[in-house]
Amino acid sequence: MQDFTLSQIITNLLLATRWTIALSAIAFIGGGIVGFIVMLMRISSNRLLRWPSMLYIELFEATPLIMQLFLVFFGISVVFGINLTTWTAAAISLTTYTSAFLADIWRGAVEAIPIGQWEASKALGFSYFRQLQKVILPQAVRASIPPTVGFAVQVIKGTSLASVIGFIELTRSASSISNVTFQPFLVYSMAAAIYFCLCFPLSLWSRRLESQFSYQ
């Protein structure tokens, strides 16, 4: 067996970090698109649109991400007879998970817009989508940026759970390396340090945005 030197451990962890970042990016972009649609359904006055979106948000927010991963990875392959790769399963679960939380965050931002803004733009003869596009969303976006950036931290940390279905990213590779080197203390500390370097700047940025927006 080949001995791992410290620099090899670091290199391997950093190589695996690429997949953590890639999965986070997919989840965040995919989740943003799906989440936007769910948010539009959630703020709609049509019950047939609103209720399914409420159920969607509630179910994803009240079940553990690990269960969602298991259901997609094992459940879909059993029920539909499609064997998903760990990549697809991880991407699907993290996208749906992210979309539910982003939809909820953005709904909060839209609902915080005073009702007078809706009434005024309606009085000006705007159609529903023009109201959203020209009046409501531009204001809601400002309020929703800090929590959205903050949620990005949750997504990055959430990707660590994709390791349980065998997706090879930072946590999975830390486990493998620690099994080979018998140095769990060192390896997990380093993995934690890498996660910290990814997440902490985002946390700081989110907090700064929050204080900026709250004073304007």
Partner 1 sequence: MGLSVCLMEYTPQFSVVWNNAGFFFQGVLLTLQIVITAIAFGLMLGVLGAVGRTSNNRLFRVVAGAYVEVFRNTPFLIQLFFFFFGLPSIGLTMSSGQAAILALAINFGAYSTEIIRAGVEGISKGQIEAGMSLGFKKLQIFRHVILMPALGAVYPALVSQVVIAVLFSSVVSQISAEELTFVGNYLQSRTFRSFEIYLTISLIYVAIVWFIKAIAYLIQRKFFAFTQYIQ
Based on the shown chain and the rule CB under 8 A, indicate whether residue 175 belongs to the binding site for partner 1. Answer: yes
Based on the shown chain and the rule CB under 8 A, indicate whether residue 214 belongs to the binding site for partner 1. Answer: no
Based on the shown chain and the rule CB under 8 A, indicate whether residue 94 belongs to the binding site for partner 1. Answer: no
Please identify, among the stretches 6-14, 32-40, 44-52, 167-175, the one whose residues bind partner 1 according to the rule CB under 8 A: 167-175
Is residue 121 within 8 A of residue 134, CB to CB? The reply is yes
Question: At 9, which amino acid appears?
Answer: I
Please give the residues from 31 up to 70 whose contact with partner 1 meets the rule CB under 8 A: 58-59, 62-68, 70
Nearest to 132 by CA among 84, 141, 54: 141
From candidates 12, 157, 168, 210, binder to partner 1 by CB under 8 A: 157
Q: State in angstroms the smallest separation of the CB of 76 from partner 1.
A: 8
Is residue 24 within 8 A of residue 149, CB to CB? The reply is no
Measured torsion, CA atoms of residues 140, 200, 22, 92, in degrees rounded to the nearest 10: -60
From candidates 158, 165, 167, 173, binder to partner 1 by CB under 8 A: 158
From candidates 1, 2, 3, 79, binder to partner 1 by CB under 8 A: 79
Please identify, among the stretches 102-110, 133-141, 184-192, 208-216, the one whose residues bind partner 1 according to the rule CB under 8 A: 184-192
Total residues binding partner 1 (CB under 8 A):
42
Query: Which residues of this chain interact with partner 1, rule CB under 8 A?
Result: 58-59, 62-68, 70-71, 74-75, 78-82, 153, 156-158, 160-161, 163-164, 171, 174-175, 178, 183-185, 188-189, 191-192, 195-196, 199-200, 203
